[in-house]
Structure 1
Amino acid sequence: MRFKILFLTCLAFLVACKNSNKTEDVSTISKPEIEIDLQKQINDCENQLEIAVPKLTDLTKHPRLIETDATEWKQVGNHKLIWTSGFYPGVLWYAYDVTGNKRWKDEAIKRTEVFEDFKNITEHHDIGFMMFPAYGLGYKIGGKKEYKDILLTSAASLASRFNPNVGTIKSWSNKMHPRWQQHITIIDNMLNLELLFWAAKHGGDKKFYDIAVKHAETTMKNHFRDDYTSWHVLEYDSINGNILNRHTKQGYADDSRWSRGQAWGVYGYTMVYKETKDKKFLDFAQKITDAYLDLLPEDMVPAWDFDVQSDPNEEKDASAAAIVASALLDLSTLVEYETDQKRYYNAAVKMLKSLGSENYSGVGKADSFLLHSTGAKSLGHEIDVALIYADYYYIEALSRLKKIKTNNKL
């Protein structure tokens, strides 16, 4: 009997030790190792908007980039094939969120509602990028409940591109990208799934959820190498779903590790786990996140492709850093173990601190929040510029960090 009691006591002690690394409330970040002047970085964003917004008055256009050595946003037409249109209203919604300044809400409404007709786009997958930062944030942050039907219609348009033979949503049209003749899926498409998850929770067809999960499962199976880095483009046989080609369009080479592509994956799978609570997606999100973090330079901002990073003359991509910083803050509240929680949180803060520094901030240099992003060097454009989606994910990350700090009194 005494032996049995001793055995049970030891067993209980071992279980307690094993579980001691778990956090009871994963929304609590304790003892952060890296400090950041969050309010200054938020103030910097608002000050930049004070400069830029009075110049951006044409509602038929939206800001896309600031060219190297230029200071003002280059605007492009609000065309249904231009995937970046939703990010500027999204920036304004987050500005309202982090400052409470109603001016930004009023401006966000004005810049959002010019895109209502985009809800019927079926020519490509980017309707998620175009509609959710604008109408989705307007619904969540701005309380604009009348945007619900627009978002549900947008989700139905996106879902129409799902091919059950392949198990993914088709990304690009073959007419626009003739290199590939059949069903094309790019890693970027993971972020469009957020629109489907939202719609499924807000009165949309249940198939939206099922399509999003199936797309994530198929991409998880096929889009990543053994080292958990990502290809950019997969071409599938439209009839039998077989993989025909694995390529990279915006990276250094077909088999190279394009840094923003990896960033899309980190953000996408973190979001999918957040929406599904399926542990296989959390496990995968951590694996591809760790692969990304292991490849980073000291300042936490990658080169535009990890395979050229050893060359100091290669351009950086601040947009990739902003995307991952935002994702890591979410991931830090979702992981099971406190050690991972702290690791991801501190990595995110370090990224944001670097992005807000003199090295990457647009303050005093241009109208953007951030400089030194690279959109598509392999295609010969958007090289070492400011990009509107870099600013979007940066201010989203600041918003997420503010909520964590407020909730946990850090």
Structure 2
Amino acid sequence: MWKYFRSLLLVTGLCFLSINSTWGQYALSSNFIDKNLTEAVEQIGFLAPNIPTDKFPRTYEDGKSISSNSAWWTSGFYPGTLLYLCEYSGNDDLLNKAKEKLKILEQEKLNTSTHDLGFMLYCSFGNALRLTHDSSAYKNVLLTGANSLITRFSPITKTIRSWEGWTYPVIIDNMMNLEFLTQASKMTGDNKYREIASTHANTTMLNHYRKDMSCYHVVDYNPTTGGIVAKKTAQGAYDESAWARGQAWGLYGYTMMYRETKDKRYLKFAEKIADFILNHPNLPEDFVPYWDFNAPDLPTDSPYATMYKNNRDASAAAINASALLELSTFVKPSKAKRYLQSAEKMLISLSSSPYKATIGSNGGFILMQSVGSIPHKSEIDVPLTYADYYYVEALMRYKKMLKK
């Protein structure tokens, strides 16, 4: 595997290695990280003119930019990416662009119809508060949004409801909104937000995961009894398959929950999820997963077998890379080494062809070849705003690790 890793570096010209003889520290140099962050700053400059003033970028497809309103679940990623890149570059123009979008996004603090407020508000306003320390501008927005989110919690199902429709559906993606609640407890000193986050995470541990540590996309509950109605998928290949981005959401979510609670159950769970992903026989050599881990094995009568079985999802790789970098800081050295090296391989792959766009192309998005939802025939083999967000986040995390 190292032979492939080294050859990829040579072929793509990314010879920025800083390896010691024992692999005791980091394989990617600050030059590699700075090069890709600098190019991300330049590329996002091409994205801005394509976005209507009152909209947020989603993707770029068939030569056209596609945007959303503030209520769409991905609305917080673009301002969040701007803020990360401002943090890196010190470019106040990026901060100002983020602030312009935050003004439009703020209204979602009152939105009680979605579980995605963590994506929408914490990735944006949370980063703004962290970067500027301006509590007067951002704290109230975050706390109002956190209170909106917990209206969707049921003490009967012990979960936060994800969608309307179904019976009482909870999706694995919801693990990503729990950090918002843990931070609300830190801001207020009120532990109720953290308790809801932990309760949801504990219920998801019990009901979403199979014995092999793959997860279902959707668990539908009975809101009266708390019993399980069904275990399904909405975006995976089939109900019992391992939808790639879902596995990444779980890995990131439980790594974060350990960071925030120091509950070792979450750490052990995150390790098991990571091992499922990294040990899977269908994980490609470049560590950018297929849209579903079972996609290469789909039977010929599957509606996705011919056209979509080989589609990759760069967004899942970006989420995995960011999560594995953090997870590597919590585990024993032997596992830390593996998780770090795996994240490094993902970053190298994502930073080169065919996943990274040339500057000025791709509508201004950084990464290519992500998948929104193949079953819905939506956003297939296109750039996605959240792929860029987690890619930049992973680069920023790595840069901070290099400084320690």
The interval holding the TM-score normalised by the smaller chain is 0.7 to 0.9
Where 1:306 maps in the other structure, the secondary structure is: coil
Corresponding position of 2:373: 376
Determine which of 285, 289, 292 is the counterpart of 1:305.
292
Identity %: 44
Could you tell me which runs of 5 or more consecutive residues in structure 1 were left unpaired when the two chains were aligned.
1-28, 175-179
1:38-187 maps to which residues of 2 (within 5 A)? Answer: 38-56=33-51, 58-67=52-61, 69-70=62-63, 73-78=65-70, 80=71, 82-146=72-136, 147-174=138-165, 180=166, 182-187=167-172
Corresponding position of 2:13: none
Q: CA deviation at 1:342?
A: 1.5
Structure 1 stretches of 4+ moved >6 Å? none
Determine which of 292, 309, 314 is the counterpart of 2:310.
314
CA distance in 1, matches of 2:120, 2:49: 23
Q: Give, as a single letter, the amino acid of the residue that structure 2 aligns with 1:75.
A: S
Determine which of 382, 387, 391 is the counterpart of 2:384.
387
Q: Give, as a single letter, the amino acid of the residue that structure 2 aligns with 1:281.
A: Y
CA distance in 2, matches of 1:403, 1:251: 34
Contact 1:152 / 1:204 at 8 angstroms: preserved in 2? no
Contact 1:93 / 1:142 at 8 angstroms: preserved in 2? no
Where 1:383 maps in the other structure, the secondary structure is: strand
CA distance in 2, matches of 1:77, 1:153: 20
Determine which of 382, 388, 398 is the counterpart of 1:401.
398
Structure label with greater radius of gyration: 1
Q: CA deviation at 1:115?
A: 1.3
Where 2:219 maps in the other structure, the secondary structure is: strand
Corresponding position of 2:327: 331
Contact 1:65 / 1:385 at 8 angstroms: preserved in 2? yes
The answer to whether structure 1 residue 362 and structure 2 residue 357 are counterparts is yes
Q: CA deviation at 1:62?
A: 0.7
CA distance in 2, matches of 1:135, 1:163: 26
Q: CA deviation at 1:112?
A: 1.4
CA distance in 2, matches of 1:227, 1:371: 30
Deviations 1:197-227 (Å, cap 9, x if unpaired)? 0000001632111000000000001100000
CA distance in 2, matches of 1:157, 1:205: 15
Corresponding position of 1:21: none
Could you tell me which runs of 5 or more consecutive residues in structure 2 were left unpaired when the two chains were aligned.
1-22, 298-304
Deviations 1:139-160 (Å, cap 9, x if unpaired)? 0013221211110111111111
Deviations 1:262-321 (Å, cap 9, x if unpaired)? 000000000000000000100000001110111221011011111113579621100000
Contact 1:376 / 1:382 at 8 angstroms: preserved in 2? yes
Deviations 1:378-404 (Å, cap 9, x if unpaired)? 111111000000001110111101100
Deviations 1:120-179 (Å, cap 9, x if unpaired)? 1111201111101110000001322121111011111111111111110011011xxxxx
Contact 1:259 / 1:304 at 8 angstroms: preserved in 2? yes
The answer to whether structure 1 residue 198 and structure 2 residue 183 are counterparts is yes
- RCO comparison, higher one (Cα < 8 Å, 6+): 1
Q: Report the CA distance shift for 1:239/1:204 in structure 2 as closer, same or farther (over 3 A).
A: farther
TM-score, with structure 2 as normaliser: 0.88
Q: Give, as a single letter, the amino acid of the residue that structure 1 aligns with 2:161.
A: K
CA distance in 2, matches of 1:363, 1:111: 26
RMSD: 1.6
Contact 1:170 / 1:183 at 8 angstroms: preserved in 2? yes
CA distance in 1, matches of 2:28, 2:133: 34
CA distance in 2, matches of 1:291, 1:399: 26
Determine which of 342, 346, 350 is the counterpart of 1:347.
342
The size of the alignment, in residue pairs, is 367
CA distance in 2, matches of 1:98, 1:66: 25
CA distance in 1, matches of 2:334, 2:228: 38
Determine which of 240, 247, 252 is the counterpart of 1:262.
247
CA distance in 1, matches of 2:66, 2:135: 32
Q: Give, as a single letter, the amino acid of the residue that structure 2 aligns with 1:77.
A: N
CA distance in 1, matches of 2:400, 2:68: 33
